[in-house]
Amino acid sequence: MAKTKKTVFFCQNCGHEEAKWLGQCPACKEWNTFVEEKALPTKSVGQAERKRAEVLSLSNVKTVGEDRIKTAMEELDRVLGGGIVKGSLVLVGGDPGIGKSTLLLQVCQTLGQKGESVLYISGEESARQIKLRADRMGEFSEHVELLCETNLESVEDVIRNRKPGMVVIDSIQTMYSEEIGSAPGSVSQVREATNTLMHLAKGLGITIFIVGHVTKEGTVAGPRVLEHMVDTVLYFEGDRHASYRILRGVKNRFGSTNEIGVFEMRENGLKEVKNPSEFMLNGRPENASGSVVACSMEGTRPILLEIQALVCHTNFGMPRRTAAGTDYNRVNLLMAVLEKRLGMPLGDCDAYVNIAGGIKMNEPAIDLGIVMALVSSYQNRPVDEHTVVFGEVGLSGEVRAVSMAKQRVMEAKKLGFNTCVIPEVSKETVGNIDGMKIVGVSNVGEAISYFR
């Protein structure tokens, strides 16, 4: 008799299946990602049970606008593309203790007050623990119901019987199916649970939020196929010791993936930050060298941020370079541009670049701000505190155009700045703005000469 397959090997990164262990996954080319799990029994489907596939012409398919539900949290609605889409499957990931459960519990609170039926399913906390957190947030409507369960079949039965408007699963790694012999959180369990929830969301028109644990690299734990199956992937970022949190969309089938939402963690929950620029610039030093205000765009929202640099002569043979909040290699590249194009002797200097507040920005528009902060610290000459600088810097030292230049200048004006140093090619796009002095520069040398 032929030997039956007892176990199979799954790639933790992409979910690829193999009969034996491999060092490198042939699908995603990642190393040491295969784990051994029990094989699932295959279910044969008869020809009478199989549904007939229907082919449609793309030109004959009719589209309708998505039915969205406003959460009364403008920051969350912006990231989702205008509100929660009915029948969507949303994955929320983030570090432990960052506030994922708190955010979703507040969403349940606001929707319950609107009369929407909400079911919060917890596999990690008891009902008493959730109640203690809910009491700090305020009063909850009777439309918000709670279920503490980890069995996937029981969860599916409850959702089908009650048919709530929204369901929160906290978390997907705790759900398990009795038909699968592997432990909760394994590749097979996570894939099966997500597949079941996807069919519930699409079949019943229920919005389902899934909380996902993250690995030490910051990605959602489990197979990569988990992010492919859901409609929207949101990451809750920020230093857990800081007061602010950033909700960032990395995948959204119903909206833009460039928007961010900013929240502040308080004792009674998360509070929206309506003006992140003012929040990021709070406590900025006056007349300090190495401090420059730059402007970055996150989707349609301009954010002013403070770039700090400290340049000093090294006491060792190898200079030390550190970057916090921006790309380390980008900082080295910009320092090389200063050495080559302007002849600044930075080869024997330590350089430390930091974006104040702990926020992370990698947009090329902050290049000119980083350059000016480095030069200001090296020459020990403060940059005017009422000036905003932005522009992309090329390897030839040229300052290139950036998108939405006028929106950036208007944000600076709203916060009381009176001068903007921008790329020369963007000056015509910005035009004349009352109360604002627009300075166009075509290369790094012109920008440095302006501040002398």
Q: Are 296 and 361 in contact (CB under 8 A)?
A: yes
Output the CA–CA distances (angstroms, integers) from residue 347 to 295, 321, 404, in the order listed. Answer: 28, 11, 35
**CA atoms of 184 and 150, how far apart (whole Å):** 9
Q: What b-and-e string marks burial along 135-155, b requiring 16 or more CB atoms within 10 Å of the CB?
A: eebeebbebbebbbebebeeb
| Annotated binding-site residue? 255 | no
Place of tokens 């996807």: 198
E strands, 156-197, where? 166-170
| Nearest Cα to Cα of residue 71 among 119, 120, 104 | 104
Q: Is the peptide bond before 188 cis (omega within 30 degrees of 0)?
A: no
CB atoms within 10 A of CB 317: 6
| Annotated binding-site residue? 101 | yes
Contacts of 128 (CB under 8 A, 6+ apart): none
Compute CA 423 distance to the chain's CA centroid, rounded to the nearest angstrom: 29
| Nearest Cα to Cα of residue 389 among 416, 420, 418 | 420
Contacts of 449 (CB under 8 A, 6+ apart): none
| Annotated binding-site residue? 210 | no
| Annotated binding-site residue? 41 | no
**CA atoms of 169 and 108, how far apart (whole Å):** 12
Output the CA–CA distances (angstroms, integers) from residue 41 to 1, 108, 180, in the order listed. Answer: 18, 38, 9
| Annotated binding-site residue? 239 | no
**CA atoms of 256 and 331, how far apart (whole Å):** 29
Q: Are 176 and 189 in contact (CB under 8 A)?
A: yes
Please measure the distance between the N-terminal and C-terminal CA atoms of the chain and give it in whole angstroms.
87
Q: Are 98 and 247 in contact (CB under 8 A)?
A: no
Phi-psi region of 68 (alpha: psi -120 to 50; beta: other; left: phi over 0): beta
The kind and range of the H/E element at 412 are helix 405-414
| Annotated binding-site residue? 212 | no
Compute CA 275 distance to the chain's CA centroid, rounded to the nearest angstrom: 18
**CA atoms of 234 and 240, how far apart (whole Å):** 17
Find the angle CA(401)-CA(405)-CA(407) to the nearest 5 degrees. Answer: 165
| Annotated binding-site residue? 100 | yes
The kind and range of the H/E element at 279 are helix 276-280
| Annotated binding-site residue? 131 | no
- Binding-site entries for ATP: 94-101
- Binding-site entries: 94-101
